[in-house]
Amino acid sequence: MARVTDPRPPLPEWILECYDRLCTQACRPDAGEDSVLLIDYDDAIDVLVTDAELALEKRDVEHALTRLLERGYFYEVEDELRVTSPEEQC
């Protein structure tokens, strides 16, 4: 979620692919409009490690999740990853 004025380089494409995969696996716990997409942290690791197209090892997946959290694509609440702005990103 790097802004135009963000001096950091953009995230690598493989990390953005991880984000896209997780968005497709995330769910809304409530039916309300204000509910956010979320996925359990351990489930996110499992989804990405078992994705044959990505072919990532667990340490790579953990690195990708860390980078996505640092950049604000997700925020973490009690071992759940919540999508920050699903209407803009997923």
Q: Which CATH architecture has domain 13-26+35-83?
A: Orthogonal Bundle (1.10)
DSSP notation for 23-65: HHH-B-SSSSTT---EEEHHHHHHHHHS-TTT---HHHHHHHH
Query: What tokens does 18 get?
Result: 């991880």
pLDDT in tens, 39-65: 999 999 999 999 999 999 999 999 999
**Complete edge-to-edge strand list for the sheet that includes strand 38-40:** 38-40, 80-83, 74-77
Q: Which of 22-26, 78-82, 83-87 is predicted with the least confidence, judged by mean pLDDT?
A: 83-87
Distance CA 51, CA 71 (A): 23
Cβ neighbours of 66 (radius 10 Å): 11
Q: According to the model, what pLDDT value does residue 89 have?
A: 45
pTM (predicted TM-score): 0.80
